[in-house]
Amino acid sequence: MSAAQLTALAGGRTAKPHHHILSVLVENKAGVLSRVAGLFSRRGFNIYSLAVAPTDNEHFSRITIVVDVESAPLEQVIMQLDKLVNVVSIGELSPSEAVERELMLVTVAVGPTERSQVIQLVGVFGGEVVSVGVDRITVMLAGRPEKIDDFEGLLEHYTVVELQRTGRVALPRLDRH
Amino acid sequence: MQLTGAQALIKSLEMQGVDVMFGLPGGAILPVYDPIIDSSIRHILVRHEQGAGHMAEGYAMVTGKPGVAMVTSGPGATNIVTPLANAYMDSTPLIVVSGQVATGSIGTDAFQECDITGVTMGITKHNWLITDVNDIPRVVAAAFHVATTGRPGPVLIDFPKDIANASMEWYWPTSVDELDLPGYHPLSDGDPVLVRQAAELISASHRPVLYVGGGVLKARAAEALRALAELTGIPVVTTLMARGAFPDSHPQALGMPGMHGHYTAVTALQRSDLLISLGARFDDRVTGKISSFAPDAKIIHVDIDRAELGKVRTPDVGIAGDCRLVIEELLSAIAANGDAPVVQDLAPWWQQIHRWQEEFPLYYETTDGGAIKPQNVVEQLRDAAPDDTIVVAGVGQHQMWASQYWEFNHPYTWVNSGGAGTMGFAVPASIGAKVGRPDKTVWAIDGDGCFQMTAQELVTATSEQIPVKIAILNNAYLGMVRQWQEMFYEERYSEVYLSPDLPDYVKWAEAMGCVGIRAESPEDVGPAIEKANSIDDRPVVVDFRTDAFEKVFPMVAAGQSNDDIVVHPHQGTPSR
């Protein structure tokens, strides 16, 4: 399936035009995530998704925030975030200029017939079966958020027991010129 | 040199040049109070931690130096939350050190434990919980740096008891690079391209107004502002936070804009074709209904906080930078503009402004033999006080009358709670102001409702020999709420009556070691003020029994357009 087809198939979870990605480099200190989240709530800004982990330098973490800019102009969100003393730098990534990835774990209830169907589907999407039970199966899929949306949409034909997505992480797309 | 954490903290404060701090000890902060005995820092023992915070704010607002307060953990720390919120709204540099339970007990609901860094995250510029004794000098230096640079604001250092008792090898950071603040880069001068664009907008304007906010005072930019105003001939309005930044006696001064601003100041902003906003933030109390604020005006917005540019109103030219530096750049840019006029012919604009000033000056009704008019008390206090008197207000009607009727001719002579609107601010803030400027007369103009919230700090003032003067405009009501209930709730007065006699303010003042004076009728006002002004060895409280029915005018009702400003009923209705 082409990227365009995947996007067309994508359900309601993919970044909408009013979603922007902020890549926020912060000091890796206690309470920093709370400061960032607190700023969003007290200023009335909406977070669509958020992913955080340390970078290659242990002193810093990177928070990837998908912001719903219908709640406030993006510029205002960035300027307020920038005032947090622990925020070192903020990059804005437009979806067309970024590579975005997300990971999903999902447990599906499967009978004898569904088991092979789900395993096949996982294979088509390049996912992986990570845990197998008597009547359940847990699979992992990583990739573009649209692809995850698409896979999640197809799982609607089965009984999803539990589903967890990480929220997206993103970095700028590299310049080829 | 080996020091305990407590000694290192006090030494760090001394290294920062702290000469006075306000506080109240308790269990968790006990170790830090021991080295205070041997320190050069004067400690003023308050009666409630809120008083310590507001005193430190008052001190900071008149001196330009950061105010320092110290409290214990738990309720000691939560009692200073209001001053932190107040200082955050008004961008006042305030350093609070709070005691904390030992690091091993954090999270166990220990006695007097409170997550004060969590509580104050949203109302401080930054806060720190010290977890390593070796961090103390660096964190204190960082706290002062953050509080006093860029847009100033409050910071809090949470200080666990075991850290105070641990020992460390003393050092002192010698440069900003050692403060471990990789994400903190305060702005300084403005972008020259934008400054030139601003000069061009000014050059083309016919009805400009300098809209001056508290940022001008924070940037010590009053002189630069005066040079800009006099070079261009542009009228000046000073917001509630900027009173004194430009002399009220100056012919270009139009007074205060906003909900209870001078008619001319409010209307000049509305009719302007160019607002030059310097260190102001388009607060709702200034703009009224934002969609109809200054509809024809282009906006030049100068602020050291980039996030203020476009937060409320999108500027045509937004300049992020220090007000004093940007004004100086602007003066150079205007000088370099060659043959272009500095401004267009402002004579028609000034004619219009003078008509407004003649038609709608500040007004209140005077009747012989009636009750004391609160506005008249402010006028008589003003006329009997030295020109550079520091005036401190609480929040409400008395605050508006003080701002309207005092004539502020010097920067740093007006101390009030603007953004947060903290009742009870005046008594402790005036004490802090007098500590900061003992050479000046300090008059607090307070309301009876406000006075009752924090009056106990006059015990502090008496015992520490801080001779402040408090004028209570006692109308026996929560007056501003009463005014709103009269005007907008069909005179249904709900929970606003206080009583003129309960408490007995004179006896209360005397019980706290102050001189208490009462003025019950208009002829008492002058002698009461004269007596108060003659006392300089202890605090004085004057209970002025004022007219309870007096309302503050002009007024723009909440959420209404500034075009719908209401003046005193005797002055008629302004034409739109």
Q: What is the CATH number of the domain that holds A120?
A: 3.30.70.1150
Indicate whether A11 and A59 sit together in one domain.
Answer: yes
Residue A30 inside a domain? The answer is yes
pLDDT at A2 over 50: no
Q: Does B560 fall in a domain?
A: no
| Domain boundaries, position A62 | 3-98
Cis peptide before B503 (omega within 30 of 0): yes
**Backbone angles phi and psi of B57, in degrees to 5:** -65, -45
Amino acid A1: pLDDT:
39
Number of Cβ pairs < 8 A linking chain A and chain B: 42
Domain boundary residue, one of A78, A98, A118: A98
Domains of chain A: total: 2
- Within a domain: residue A160? yes
CATH number, domain with residue B11: 3.40.50.970
**Catalytic-labelled residue, pool B11, B125, B161, B469:** B161
Chain A interface includes B320 (CB < 8 A):
no
A152 within domain boundaries:
yes
Query: To the nearest whole angstrom, how far is the Cα of B14 from the nearest Cα of chain A?
Result: 25
Mutate to test the interface with A, among B121, B301, B304, B308 (most CBs of A within 10 A): B121
Q: Is B543 exposed, middle or buried, given 0-12, 13-18 or 19+ CB atoms closer than 10 A? A: buried
Inter-residue contact A66 to A48 (CB < 8 Å): yes
Domain count within chain B: 3
If asked whether residues A131 and A72 sit together in one domain, one would say no
In the prediction, which pLDDT does A13 show? 53
pLDDT value, residue B170 = 98
Residue B186 lies in a domain: no
Q: Does B363 touch chain A (CB under 8 A)?
A: no
Å between B295 CA and nearest CA of chain A: 21
| Domain assignment present for B111 | yes
Residue A177 falls inside a structural domain: no
Q: Which residues contact B450 (CB under 8 A, 6 or more apart)?
A: B394, B395, B396, B398, B423, B424, B425, B426, B427
* Partner-chain contact B183 A87, CB within 8 Å: yes
Q: Are residues A73 and A115 located together in one domain of the fold?
A: no
| Chain A nearest-CA residue for B312 | A76
B480 catalytically annotated:
yes
Do the domain assignments include residue B40? yes
**Could you read off the pLDDT of B66-76 as tens digits, one per residue?**
999 999 999 99
Task: Write out residues 99-128 of B within 8 Å (CB-CB) of A.
Answer: 117-118, 121-122, 125-126
- B219 with B302, same domain? yes
In chain A, DSSP finds a helix count (H) and a strand count (E) of 5, 9
Domain closes at, from A66, A98, A130: A98
Q: Which residue from A38, A75, A79 is facing B122, i.e. has the nearest CB?
A: A38
Among the partner residues A34, A76, A85, nearest to B183 by beta-carbon distance: A85
Residue ending a domain, choose from B135, B158, B179: B179
- Kindly state whether residues A85 and A136 are assigned to the same domain: no
Nearest beta carbon to residue A86 from set B183, B307, B310: B183
Same domain, A9 and A64: yes
Q: Give me B175's structure tokens.
A: 């440069």
pLDDT value of residue A68: 83
Whether residue B515 is contained in a domain is answered as: yes
Residues A84 and A111 in one domain: no
Q: Per the domain annotation, does B187 fall within a domain?
A: no
Chain A environment of B306 (Cβ under 8 Å)? 79, 82
| Torsional sign, CA A142, A143, A146, A151 | negative
Residue B562 forms part of a structural domain: no
Boundary-marking domain end, from B359, B386, B408:
B359
Contact A75 B117 (CB under 8 A): no
- B111 is a catalytic site residue: yes
Q: Does the bond joining B569 to the residue before it have cis omega, within 30 degrees of 0? A: no
Residues B258 and B347 in one domain: yes
Which pLDDT tens digit goes with each residue over A109-159?
Answer: 999 899 999 999 999 999 999 999 999 999 999 999 999 999 999 999 999
pLDDT given at position A9: 39
**Is there a single domain that holds both residue B403 and residue B263?**
no
Residue A8, pLDDT above cutoff 70:
no
The CATH number linked to B249 is 3.40.50.1220
Question: What's the domain range around B512?
Answer: 374-545
* Chain B nearest CA to A7, separation (Å): 35
Instruction: Give the number of other CB atoms < 10 A from CB of residue B424.
Output: 25
Whether residues B345 and B471 share a domain: the answer is: no
Specify whether B205 is located in the same domain as B300. Answer: yes
Tell me the pLDDT tens digit for each residue of B200-217.
999 999 999 999 999 999
Task: Report the candidate in B220, B127, B216, B135 with the shortest Cα–Cα distance to residue B179.
Answer: B135
* Whether A30 contacts chain B with CB within 8 A: yes
User: Which of B359, B387, B414 is the endpoint of a domain?
Assistant: B359
**Is the CB of A85 less than 8 angstroms away from the CB of B306?**
no
- Judgement on whether residues A161 and A78 belong to the same structural domain of the protein: no
Among A18, A8, A7, A11, smallest CA distance to A66 is for A18
DSSP H helices, A94-144, are 112-124
Q: Are B259 and B349 in a shared domain?
A: yes
| Claim to verify: residue B199 and residue B241 sit in the same structural domain | yes
- Could you tell me if B292 and B353 lie in one domain? yes
**Could B310 and A80 be called an inter-chain contact, meaning their C-beta atoms sit closer than 8 Å?**
no
Residues A110 and A83 in one domain: no
CA atoms within 13 A on the CB side of B36: 20
Average pLDDT, chain B: 97
From B241, B256, B480, B512, active-site residue? B480
Residue A73 belongs to domain with CATH number: 3.30.70.260
Percentage of the residues of chain A whose pLDDT score is greater than 70: 90
Catalytic residue among B15, B112, B407, B440: B112
The ipTM, to two decimals, is 0.91
Q: How confident is the model at residue A11, as a pLDDT?
A: 39
Q: Closest residue of B to A75, CA-based?
A: B307
pLDDT score, position A166: 92
The beta-carbon neighbor of A38 closest among B121, B146, B181 is B121
Residue B518 exposed, middle or buried by CB count within 10 Å (0-12, 13-18, 19+): middle
B112 is catalytic: yes
| pTM score, whole prediction | 0.94
On whether both B407 and B530 belong to a single domain, the answer is: yes
Question: Which of A42, A63, A98 finishes a domain?
Answer: A98
Domain match, B403 and B513 both: yes
Domain assignment of residue B566, yes or no: no
Distance CA B321, CA B326 (A): 6
pLDDT tens track, chain B, 576 positions: 999 999 999 999 999 999 999 999 999 999 999 999 999 999 999 999 999 999 999 999 999 999 999 999 999 999 999 999 999 999 999 999 999 999 999 999 999 999 999 999 999 999 999 999 999 999 999 999 999 999 999 999 999 999 999 999 999 999 999 999 999 999 889 999 999 999 999 999 999 999 999 999 999 999 999 999 999 999 999 999 999 999 999 999 999 999 999 999 999 999 999 999 999 999 999 999 999 999 999 999 999 999 999 999 999 999 999 999 999 999 999 999 888 889 999 999 999 999 999 999 999 998 877 899 999 999 999 999 999 999 999 999 999 999 999 999 999 999 999 999 999 999 999 999 999 999 999 999 999 999 999 999 999 999 999 999 999 999 999 999 999 999 999 999 999 999 999 999 999 999 999 999 999 999 999 999 999 999 999 999 999 999 999 999 999 999 999 999 999 999 988 876
Min distance B396 CA to chain A CA atoms (Å): 26
Residue that has been written with the tokens 């001319």 in this structure = B264
Q: Residues B122, B231: one domain?
A: no
Position A17 pLDDT exceeds 80:
no
Using a CB-CB cut-off of 8 Å, the residues of chain A touching B125 are 85
Of A35, A73, A88, the CB nearest to B182: A88
Q: Compute CA B219 distance to the chain's CA centroid, rounded to the nearest angstrom.
A: 14
pLDDT for position B263: 98
Distance from CA of A75 to the nearest CA of B (A): 8
* Closest CA–CA distance from residue A73 to any residue of chain B (Å): 9
How far apart, in Å, are the Cα atoms of B546 and each of A56, B249, B469, B481, B567?
A: 68, 27, 18, 16, 21
Show the CA angle centred on residue A8, arms to residues A67 and A172, nearest 5°. 45
Residues A39 and A117 in one domain: no
Q: Is B33 helix (H, G, I), strand (E, B) or coil?
A: helix
The reply to whether B303 and B204 lie within a common domain is yes
Asked whether residue A85 falls in the same domain as residue A154, the answer is no
